[in-house]
């Protein structure tokens, strides 16, 4: 059974602080995705990581992938309120099946 687990599930952080969300997965996969979801909305693509060691950055978010450890991280730098949302990682298995992690609900407090 494929498992994609994130931690923490809930994260409350102050503005200006840094934090990391972790995504562990149980299958062999070279592709890892990060999405953002606002309440009542669909999914917004943040990053696609395509190989071991891949690192991508956009604004205050940076994602990395270690395929050997089956681990991806989403690092938040100097958080701002606008980053409050739920973040999902997702794993591609065999190029067609696509499974989401458990999600991390982030609240940034002024």
Partner 1 sequence: DAMVIQNPRYQVTQFGKPVTLSCSQTLNHNVMYWYQQKSSQAPKLLFHYYDKDFNNEADTPDNFQSRRPNTSFCFLDIRSPGLGDTAMYLCATRGVGGNTIYFGEGSWLTVV
Q: Which positions lie near partner 1, rule CB under 8 A?
A: 31, 33, 41-43, 45, 48, 50, 88, 95-103, 105
- For residue 69, whether the previous peptide bond is cis, meaning omega lies within 30 degrees of 0, is no
Q: How far is the CB of 110 from partner 1 (least distance, A)?
A: 24
Q: For partner 1, give the closer residue by CB, 19 or 99.
A: 99
Q: For partner 1, give the closer residue by CB, 76 or 87.
A: 87
* Token output for 73: 């991280």
- Tokens 């950055």 appear where? 57
* Token output for 45: 């693509």
Q: For partner 1, give the closer residue by CB, 43 or 80.
A: 43
Q: How far is the CB of 12 from partner 1 (least distance, A)?
A: 16
Give the three-state DSSP class for 46: strand
Q: For partner 1, give the closer residue by CB, 50 or 109.
A: 50
Q: How far is the CB of 77 from partner 1 (least distance, A)?
A: 25
E strands in 26-93? 32-37, 43-49, 55-58, 61-66, 71-76, 85-93
């Amino acid at each position: 059974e494929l498992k994609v687990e994130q931690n923490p599930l809930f994260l409350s952080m102050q503005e200006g602080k840094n934090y990391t969300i972790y995504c562990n997965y149980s299958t062999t996969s070279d592709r890892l995705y990060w999405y953002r979801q606002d309440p009542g909305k669909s999914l917004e693509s943040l990053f696609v990581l395509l190989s071991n060691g891949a690192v991508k950055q956009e604004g205050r978010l940076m994602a990395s992938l270690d395929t050997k450890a089956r681990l991806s991280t989403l690092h938040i730098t100097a958080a701002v309120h606008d980053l409050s949302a739920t973040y999902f990682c997702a794993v591609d298995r065999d190029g067609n099946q696509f499974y989401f992690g458990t999600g991390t609900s982030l609240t940034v407090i002024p």
